[in-house]
A and B are shown apart, each in its own frame.
Chain A
């Protein structure tokens, strides 16, 4: 395509953006608002996801050992467990330690445990931490096969719940994204429709003198694209500022929350929002052309 043709498209698109400045402004604001909400939501989702997997990886598996094991045998088992794939950390907890912990949990009602103190019914155990949550199940299976291991338990329920939560977050995120993107596309297509209407005379003449359909469409596509890009810029700036502020205050006041570092998420997030802006703008104008511009 020729340079002068692109110049023509751009001039036409610019002309109508300025001519319908009120609708232009309204569309840009909508795009900005939608992308802002989307961005904040995505940040929330990414972080919750991150927190969930951090928690998941902290889930412990306990392997209870048989009573009559010698110290040497116990050490050997510990070493084997350490060598298993997906294991990050192994701690030996003697039955005495286990009883002490139990007492602590009972607090003031320690007297209830008095009867077991003589004859400790608890077992020596290995506390195992998995590398990632996905490793937990395979580690459990491996542990069960080991000789000297009497019983393996892990807090399956918690893991299931965390998985469910993560899944729910992802689903809710998807729903919000679809809704917002849908609303934005609708608004942009309405704006372009107004432009098409305002320019019906020109379109008619273009058809008459033999402009191709795509020649007629391009200025509108560019117009939609501009709306998308112009809307995504303020959204980007606000999301970035918001997250920097949030991260700074969380690190200061709630340091135990494993919030993702701004540098590691924002670049990709900005690209994503800009991309969504572009897609939404183009799609909005394409839809309105299908419906209102029978060329």
Chain B
């Protein structure tokens, strides 16, 4: 589903954000991408979303080489990847359901589809009761659920979560992770970049550890540290 082949990304002249990284993630996998800040997790996300191109190597997503995409094809790649961020990125002046519908409007989904999908996905993330609230009226966890609903409303085969629990307390974080696991159960490939140790240790899924731009560990059912 996602293949990074010997990917190197250099910023400026010397900063090697990723250094000869090879990662293969198959369809339906759940992967934690861990490592200290500056290890290259965000660069991985930017390259995956084709916000940038690798300096060397190639990235193949769902059979498509991102380096060979024409600019006007990029949006269609992004429709295949749902994204969630630490800061939620909701539009403050719109309600929860408007925020979710927005993602469908901008890909020109038919109105009937929007009316059908939005309540469905809000139900999935457990926000059906709050559909008419604005982001400011929600707790952090609820805001992240809304963001998750927006990421999923388009039915993307891949979900990328960049520090999804960074702004949440442990209990709420755990709820979000459970939701991500549930989404994964339904067949979506999920990549979570995080440095929340307890969660990684508790879930025991594949862990890819980055350090200074290199893959230093790639382990099935791994933990955050090397304590096994």
Contacts and interface: CB of A to CB of B under 8 A. Distances in A.
Nearest to B77: A210
Nearest to A206: B106
Interface stretch (A1-9, A21-29, A158-166, A240-248): A1-9
Contact of B89 (A2, A8, A205): A205
Q: How large is the interface on A (under 10, 10 to 19, 20 to 34, 35 or more residues)?
A: 10 to 19
Given A2-B108, A215-B108, A205 B72 contact: no
A104 interface: no
Given A4-B111, A215-B108, A210 B154 contact: yes
Nearest to A8: B105
A5 B7 CA distance: 38
A247 B56 CA distance: 73
Contact of B108 (A5, A201, A204, A207): A5
- Label chain A's interface by main secondary structure: helix
Interface string A184-199: 0000000000000000
A207 B107 CA distance: 10
A210 B91 contact: no
Given A2-B108, A208-B49, A213 B72 contact: yes
A211 B72 CA distance: 10
Contacts of A267: none
B150 interface: yes
A211 B107 contact: yes
B6 interface: no
A202 B79 CA distance: 16
A115 interface: no
A215 B106 contact: yes
A267 to B, nearest CB: 39
A209 interface: yes
A196 B131 CA distance: 28
A212 B103 CA distance: 12
B174 interface: no
A260 to B, nearest CB: 50
B46 to A, nearest CB: 11
Contacts of A5: 105, 108
